[in-house]
Amino acid sequence: MIKKIQLKNIASYDEVGIELDNLKKINFIYGSNGSGKTTLSNQIASSNNLGNSNCNISWENNEKLQTLIYNKQFRKDNFESATIEGVFTIGSATQEELKVIEQKQRELQELKEEGIKKKGSFEKIENDIAKLHKEAEEDFWESIYKFYEPNFKEAFRGFQYKKTFKEKLLQEFDKNIENVLTLDELTKNSSIIFGEVPVHIQKLIIPNYKDLINIQDNKIFSKKIVGKSDIDISDLILKLNINDWVNEGRSHLTDSTTCPFCQNETISTKFRKNLEDYFDESFLKDTQSIDSLHGKYKEFSTSLTSYFEKIIKDETNNKNSKLNLETFSINFKLLKEIFEQNILLITKKIKEPSKVIRLNSFNDTLQELISIISETNIEIINHNKIVANYKESRANLVNNIWTYIVKEHNDIIKRFSKKIHNFGQGVTSLNLQIKEKRKDYSNLNEEIKLLTKNVTSVQPAVDSINNTLKQFGFLSFSIIASSKQPKHYELQRENGESAQSTLSEGEITFITFLYFMQLVKGSQIEDEVSQERVLIVDDPISSLDSTVLFVVSTLLKGVIHNIKLNVGNVKQLIVLTHNVYFHKEISYSNGRESNSNINSYWILRKNKNITNIQFYDSKNPISTSYELLWSELKNRDKTSNTSTQNVMRRIIENYFKILGKFKDDELIEKFPTVENQEICRSLLCWINDGSHCLTDDLFIELQYDSTEKYLEVFEQIFELTNHKSHYDMMMQD
């Protein structure tokens, strides 16, 4: 069964087009001439053609049925050649054979229904799987993707949609790799690889600081540097502990004998000699050594300090720096302070050689700085390896990130994977069952085709069409088996001449429809007689008089009746018409059936040369002034007798005289009694002469003081003209 039709970009259908959704078993589409009905039926017919993007049809359960379409193209395809292709129907079967076929068809229907149930179960599982996937997508996205996105967004490239991200997780989960890096390692590598394309970095040079260590460890700083002890003045100097003061004072002596401190004449030649002997060569050598160490210490410490300052400056401006700048700067500041303190200590030693000093050790601090440089160089080496193999390193990092994530969230991925696996087993089982049902269905269908093939013939269709033609007064031609081509028909006049090119428009329209109705029951292909089908009927009453209009509607009502009872091969009907009366007749329901799940109604309209469609669900939108007349008649107790008579006259005028083209005498002569003929004549007189017969109307009304007699005659008019079903339809509550 067709569930949805979409049509666009053709004729009066624009690029938006129309959509007929929620089509039911029986569908009525009303549209005035030129509104796009024929385009719709033609496009449905051609929707099977490859490349036809104008029309798209969706089928229930994706089960495509045979589509039979009655429209102008059907007439052109079947009645413009010399012969007409035969229609195979079941006509020569015995009652027993028919029962066997019917039983097999019931079994086939049961198999189909079982298959549909299995397919429904299959679709339910698929829906459950889809729901599970959707929930997993949301869960994985919120708990995993968003958590790792800030650092690993580049690793997720190509998987930045919920569905693709979930699928990638499952793919990586199946790999089950054991060795994974830590989150810190992955984050650090990501900062290198996922930023700008990394460039080669020079390693930091570890400076030589052995000379500074040697100076720091020199024992001279712990030595008391004093003069010779066997000199006359040595006892006094040592006793007063003025070695450094005396040594300092020597620099103030001049050639004069006057003491620069007390200004007395105390500087004798002997005193000068004692001073020179006291501060002998050994003393001079030691003090000179301290002076030298002082200079070297300043030189080496300044050089090392400058190097470290350069490192700090360069790495501060280096966006790719691997140096722990903060820790390095703290230790450098501490080292610099130690150097400054030691220089002051050495300076003090120079001034006071006899003092013992101990230089502050910079070993730990300097070693910390060297360690930081070494660690930095290790990172630089790793960085440069990445640079040398950037593509490979990037791919490895991405793989490592996915591996880490899967291992970290193994539990929730495993639970989801297990549920999917369990569902998959159910799907596999149902697939096998559906496959078996399809096989059984195919075998039984072939058996039915063989049974029907043995009892099918093209002759029953000929007999049925000719009987209908005779029944409704088409006596001047008939359809016969072709003498020129087997299993084909010809149209023939009573005198034996071909009627193919001489039929009137009404005759060719009627027989075309009768031929179509035989196709509804059978097929032009012998083994497709029992095939299920969908009917599309487009304005079948064009060029037909009122009598034939009701024949057509009656035949289609039979199809509708069978569809409602789920009898026969026709599973769906779509009727398109511009005729209000035909629409009303064909869509008539006896009022005892609920049509909400069976019927649907649509109206095609053209506005500014663009076709659009409106859906009315199960409510029939065709309500005319004619229908309102019947409504007024049903509520006659609220109006006067004269109004009721006038309503009946207008109904007769619309239905019999305008639509049906009945003559007055034809209607009057249907009544056997004079009394009823007189009442009928009074109704018709008002129609013909208007106000000129008003007096007669009043006379009749006075003679029959109740409208009941009028109503009786009114009903008999429909009954005697074989249109009682229309009366019943319009008078129903």
Does 263 lie in the same domain as 149? no
Q: What is the pLDDT of residue 62?
A: 83
Please check whether residue 379 lies inside any domain of the structure: no
Does 682 lie in the same domain as 581? no
CA angle 223, 224, 230 (to 5 degrees): 125
Q: What is the pLDDT of residue 543?
A: 62
Tens of pLDDT, residue by residue over 639-666, are 667 667 778 888 887 777 656 667 778 8
Please check whether residue 213 lies inside any domain of the structure: no
Comparison of pLDDT for 107 and 366, the residue scoring more? 366
Identify the domain boundary among 580, 615, 650: 615
> 693 pLDDT band (50/70/90 cuts)?
very low
> What's the domain range around 691?
625-731
Which amino acid makes up residue 92?
S
Comparison of pLDDT for 701 and 664, the residue scoring more? 664
- Contact predicate 675/650, CB 8 Å: no
Does 559 lie in the same domain as 502? yes
Does 651 lie in the same domain as 582? no
CATH of the domain at 587: 3.40.50.300
Q: Rounded distance, CA 296 to CA 290, Å? A: 10
Identify the domain boundary among 279, 295, 314: 279
Please check whether residue 481 lies inside any domain of the structure: yes
Q: What is the pLDDT of residue 493?
A: 85
Please check whether residue 367 lies inside any domain of the structure: no
Identify the domain boundary among 455, 472, 496: 455
Does 552 lie in the same domain as 503? yes
Does 608 lie in the same domain as 465? yes
Please check whether residue 333 lies inside any domain of the structure: no
Please check whether residue 302 lies inside any domain of the structure: no
Please check whether residue 329 lies inside any domain of the structure: no
Q: Rounded distance, CA 606 to CA 475, Å? A: 41
| Mean pLDDT value of segment 320-347 | 92
Does 451 lie in the same domain as 474? no
Tens of pLDDT, residue by residue over 339-348, are 999 999 999 8
- Whether the model clears a pTM of 0.85, i.e. scores above it, the answer is no
Helix and strand totals (H; E) in the chain: 26, 14
Does 584 lie in the same domain as 462? yes
Q: Which residues have a Cβ under 8 Å from the Cβ of 107 and sit 6 or more positions away?
A: 444
Q: Rounded distance, CA 384 to CA 364, Å? A: 30
Does 461 lie in the same domain as 400? no
Tens of pLDDT, residue by residue over 704-728, are 445 677 788 888 888 888 888 888 8
Q: What is the count of structural domains for the chain?
A: 4
Does 640 lie in the same domain as 595? no
Q: Which residues have a Cβ under 8 Å from the Cβ of 457 and sit 6 or more positions away?
A: 88, 89, 91, 92
First CA to last CA distance, the chain: 32
Does 153 lie in the same domain as 82? no
Does 545 lie in the same domain as 635? no
Please check whether residue 173 lies inside any domain of the structure: yes
Q: What is the pLDDT of residue 691?
A: 33
Tens of pLDDT, residue by residue over 225-272, are 765 555 666 655 666 566 667 676 676 776 777 777 676 776 767 677
